[in-house]
Structure 1
Amino acid sequence: MARLNDQVAALLQEYADLLLLTGGDAYRARAYEKAARAVGGHPDDLAALDAKGLQQIPGVGKSTAEKITEYLATGRVAKLEQLRAEIPAGLREIMAVPTIGPKKAALLHRELGISTVDELRAAAETDRLNDLPGLGARTAENIRHGIDQLRAGGGRVLISTATELAEEIVAAVSAAPGCERCGHAGSLRRMRETIGDVDVLAVAEDSAPLMAALTDLPQVTEVIATGTTKTSVRTTAGLQVDLRVVPPGDWGAALVYFTGSKAHNIALRARAVRAGLKLSEYGLFEADGGRKIVSATEEEVYEALGLSWIPPTLREDRGETDAALAGELPDLVQESDICGDLHTHTDLTDGLAPLEAMLAAAADRSLAYVAVTDHAPDLAMQRMTDAKMLAQREQARALDRRYRGLRVLHGTELNIDRDGNVDWLPEFLAGFDLCVASIHSHFTADRDTQTRRLIRACENPYVHVIGHPTTRLLGRRPPIDVDLEAVYEACARTGTVLEINASPERLDLGDQDILAARRHGVRFAVDTDAHAVPHLANLRYGIGTAQRGWLTADEVVNTWPLQKLRRYLKKKS
């Protein structure tokens, strides 16, 4: 079940969207959007707060607090349900199409009577959108692409949603009588960026108590099938969960098989066949006599095939079996290797927590250093000024080492404009310890423009890191059209670091892009882009993505001691 704060945040965001969709006041809608972000980023459980306590959360006013307390007491919000009843269900689905928000959805419904995704596609393909204000041929193309992207997702969810659900299920099954061990497998164990279903594997002599532990969970809405070896259910998140229970001696072979990927398993079975063996979820057997050779642990299975154990994040048939055979698997970067976070935000701009709270949380996570990188002034909605930034710098210097010796770097997240320029003049930029530069606008510019603007940002001596390089938002916004190979060459030439943004909504760069970039000798930073204290925990998703890109600790600059990192940054400027 989703964290209570996240459930409430989703309800408030939906309320804001529906206000706009039904012609409500835009100011009220923005207030609820702000409250949704504040609630989702609040570190403490809302269940412990009354209406007065809720109003102590920045951005949560009396009306919002009343809705939250109503939900906590009854599980529903009457005004939200009223708004839901006013619009066709298909119109809410339209809002999920990348590039379509509540305002465009309302315009389409009002002017063209469009209330389903199919009607929207038909309108885009017959040029009916061209005469609407703010729309046109390019918009129609983006809408078609957005619909394709939405449907290609096939009900997949972000890795964070799947992880939270899997951990709850593993905990419940592990507590069942007779359960000897339990863990998740499948694409989630491989740390894919989106997840279609959740595979859980357990060991027990008697499977019945484990199956009951799954089907009795409150987040289970449907029992699809149940038996002695496998039970499948559907949850409130819409995800299918498959629980398989195996005998104690078969754990290793089953874990290899159900972790996958399919292509990796095919490669393993082919290797087994060449050795006169047969590999299945039950073990590794002699092909002729059928004698079981090994099945208890993954390490034994791989060793019997002549391979070193392959980390789950590499099991995509991208050369990992050849590397294992040759003893050339990379020593993958681990979350424990990370010394610092180079991209975080505070409530000075669009973050939800003050600098002191973010630093205290970073220290609690045993980081040695953290960079505060609030937005620069060209992102006008954040209302940054030179004076505000300099005042924060003084505060950061005063707080340096205050929290368990945590070193504080004062930085900023610059905006890369259409021409590749960034905020502030060189003499002002020279005062920062670190500058991240990111694209926040002109997402639909042509390939040459996007490539040129990123390369020019790399060539700026004060830009140390390119943040979320492709700008994608998973399931919501596609990557920009850019010649990434040219960008990788520029990064390698200038010493500019590419970010692996750990936000589960971004995971940008993705694993395939990391694989391509590292061939150029590019350095990377795995950053959280945290806008609230809970977001610091997203680091694990960025590490999983880095591992899928075969990265070692030395290739990730924020695994380095601060002195080494400072020397590297100084070379750039």
Structure 2
Amino acid sequence: MARSNDEVAALLQEYADLLAITGGDRFKARAYEKAVRAVAGYHGDIAGLDIKQLRAIPGVGKSIADKIGEYFEHGSVQAIEEVRARIPAGVRQLMAIPTLGPKKAAQLHHDLGISSIEELVDAIHHERLRDVKGFGPKTEQNILHGVELMQQAGDRVLINVAMDLAEEIVTGLAAVTGCSRCTYAGSLRRFRETIGDIDILAAAENPGPVMKAFRDLDLVGEVIAGGEKKTSIRTTKGLQVDLRVVPPQAWGAALQYFTGSKGHNIRTREMAVHAGLKLSEYGIFDVETGDLIVSETEEEVYRRLGLPWIPPTLREDRGEIEAAQRDELPELVTERDIRGDLHTHTDLTDGVSSLEDMVATAAARGYAYYAVTDHAPNLVMQRMSDDKMLAQREQVRELAARYPKLTLLHGTELNIDADGEVDWGPDFLAGFDLCVASVHSSFTQPREQMTRRLVRACENPYVNIIGHPTARLIGRRPPVDADLDELFRACARTGTALEINSFPDRLDLRDEHILWAKQHGVKFAINSDSHSTTHLAAIRYGVGTAQRGWLTKDDVINTWPLSRLKKFLRKGRA
């Protein structure tokens, strides 16, 4: 099963939100929010820890550790249940709306008696919110967009949640006697940012043992449908997983078919028809004779259609067929190409792992270079100061001597304020090896103002990378409203890279924006934005997103040799 960390983190986050609603101690709420990051970023499964071990996790004190222990023992926490009971269920539902938040949800319930999403939407349409302090037409528009985001998300989950589950299932089924091959397919193999259900494909002459092993997995909540070729289950967490078992000789055709996308498959089937062939999940057949031509590997299937093998991340019917016909498919960037991570945090600000642990983990990953980029002082809640930053710089230099194969870069993540200014002036910024600059506030500025704000940051000679450029949080916060063409032109003109933030709830820039920005000649940085040693591995999701954006390693600055990277980071400065 997947680790319990995320489940506990969600519970602690809910408690922090409930404290905010009920007017509880804001410092207490902040302590729980810090514990959320600590638990989610912990390297092991906290379900196996006792109270003493829980308290040893940075950011988890005695009271929080006791609540976690109570949850594992009883399945609930009395203190949290008591606060829940004081707040109508509908208000807790309102809290989940992106752009609304717990305090405004409580205000709407107190002032207007709103206790459901339906009542909220109706109140907006009848302009009742405009009598409430702090609410106006712009706020109404943002709330409606937040409701739309929730409805679009539906039962979909972030890619990392689906990936963890899929890899667990594949590992279990691959060990079954008679199972010759097993992998995940569908939108997960294409690295879509959210996943509706998981497709697992296995190859076996006798599907019975594989199907039985699948139904007997501990994670199975219910069997939706069972058969010789396909079984569908719903996990205890509510996610649907479909298993298909095919004969080994049909593996390639089945993998191509069940990977999709629908648009891509329609194109390949049309190509088969025009060649007098039939393409199905069992292979390519001659229409006249019914004879099987090829089926064992994807490469054979594509080759018989007159195409080279097309990487799954490109299979979205966005020009990949035409590019393949012209022999112009890009050689996509891979995780092996990444030489270093250029956006990470430590426990000096909002990370939960120490500088030493983060560097050690980066070295273990085989990176050639690694940047620590803790937050700058304008993000006040992080309590950064000049002295703290300079002290960290000395620590970085001391650590560098212990890792001769790893070049350590001292950087920072600057806050782009409402006018496009950043935290420090030129003299202080000149001391950093690189600077990431990101929007962390004032997300609802008008389009023209937001665009100018981002462009000004690009024009700063010390800003090397625009972090999570649209500031979206998938399913929770919409992207900022900016003229992306103008931003992309500014990045290309000033030599500023755009980040592909690998954190699964960001994946920002997203694939369509990457395709768009590449046309302007923009360069990119695939970063993890790690706040824990466990987060560094999330770079795989940024790479998958970059592949969906058709990027090669030449497009990505942190695949470059250090000498070329350093030249880029100088950004034309004297």
Structure 1: distance between partners of 2:279 and 2:554 = 36
Structure 2: distance between partners of 1:572 and 1:125 = 52
Structure 2: distance between partners of 1:553 and 1:60 = 40
Match of 2:338 in 1: 338
Structure 1: distance between partners of 2:572 and 2:417 = 21
Match of 1:565 in 2: 565
Q: What SS does structure 2 have at the residue aligned with 1:409?
A: strand
Q: 1:88 to 1:208 in 2, by over 3 A?
A: farther
Structure 1: distance between partners of 2:24 and 2:241 = 39
Match of 1:242 in 2: 242
1:169 aligns with 2:165: no
The superposition leaves residues 215-258 of structure 1 with CA deviations (integer Å, 9 ceiling, x where unpaired) of 22222222111110001111233221110010111111111110
The superposition leaves residues 18-52 of structure 1 with CA deviations (integer Å, 9 ceiling, x where unpaired) of 33334443332222221121111122332443212
Answer yes or no: is the 8 Å Cα contact 1:464–1:572 preserved in 2: no
| Superposition deviation, residue 401 in structure 1 | 4.3
Match of 1:79 in 2: 79
Q: What SS does structure 2 have at the residue aligned with 1:572?
A: coil
Q: What SS does structure 1 have at the residue aligned with 2:392?
A: helix
- Please give the residue correspondences for 1:208-287 in structure 2 after superposition, counting only pairs within 5 Å: 208-287=208-287
1:540 aligns with 2:540: yes
Match of 2:19 in 1: 19
Match of 2:289 in 1: 289
Answer yes or no: is the 8 Å Cα contact 2:59–2:352 preserved in 1: no
Greater shift, 117-126 or 292-301, is seen at 117-126
- Please give the residue correspondences for 1:59-458 in structure 2 after superposition, counting only pairs within 5 Å: 59-403=59-403, 405-458=405-458
Structure 2: distance between partners of 1:497 and 1:564 = 14
Partner amino acid, structure 2, of 1:244: R
Match of 2:488 in 1: 488
Partner amino acid, structure 2, of 1:77: V
Partner amino acid, structure 2, of 1:236: T
Match of 1:9 in 2: 9
- Please give the residue correspondences for 1:24-63 in structure 2 after superposition, counting only pairs within 5 Å: 24-63=24-63
Q: 1:444 to 1:521 in 2, by over 3 A?
A: same
TM-score by length of 1: 0.97
Partner amino acid, structure 2, of 1:194: T
| Superposition deviation, residue 265 in structure 1 | 0.2
Q: What SS does structure 1 have at the residue aligned with 2:342?
A: strand
Unaligned runs of 5+ in 1: none
The superposition leaves residues 363-415 of structure 1 with CA deviations (integer Å, 9 ceiling, x where unpaired) of 11111111111111111111111111111111111111423621110111111
Structure 1: distance between partners of 2:493 and 2:216 = 57
Structure 2: distance between partners of 1:174 and 1:92 = 42
Greater shift, 453-462 or 540-549, is seen at 453-462
Structure 1: distance between partners of 2:92 and 2:239 = 20
Across the aligned residues of Structure 1 and Structure 2, the Cα RMSD in angstroms comes to 1.4
Q: What SS does structure 2 have at the residue aligned with 1:103?
A: helix
Structure 1: distance between partners of 2:2 and 2:108 = 32
Answer yes or no: is the 8 Å Cα contact 2:34–2:350 preserved in 1: no
Partner amino acid, structure 1, of 2:560: W
Partner amino acid, structure 1, of 2:464: H
- What is the identity percentage for the equivalent residue pairs of Structure 1 and Structure 2? 65
Greater shift, 136-145 or 549-558, is seen at 136-145
| Superposition deviation, residue 350 in structure 1 | 0.9
Answer yes or no: is the 8 Å Cα contact 2:494–2:571 preserved in 1: no
Answer yes or no: is the 8 Å Cα contact 1:156–1:195 preserved in 2: yes
Structure 2: distance between partners of 1:114 and 1:318 = 44
Structure 2: distance between partners of 1:235 and 1:83 = 29
TM-score by length of 2: 0.97
Structure 2: distance between partners of 1:258 and 1:251 = 10
| Superposition deviation, residue 134 in structure 1 | 2.2
Answer yes or no: is the 8 Å Cα contact 2:464–2:571 preserved in 1: no
Q: 1:445 to 1:295 in 2, by over 3 A?
A: same
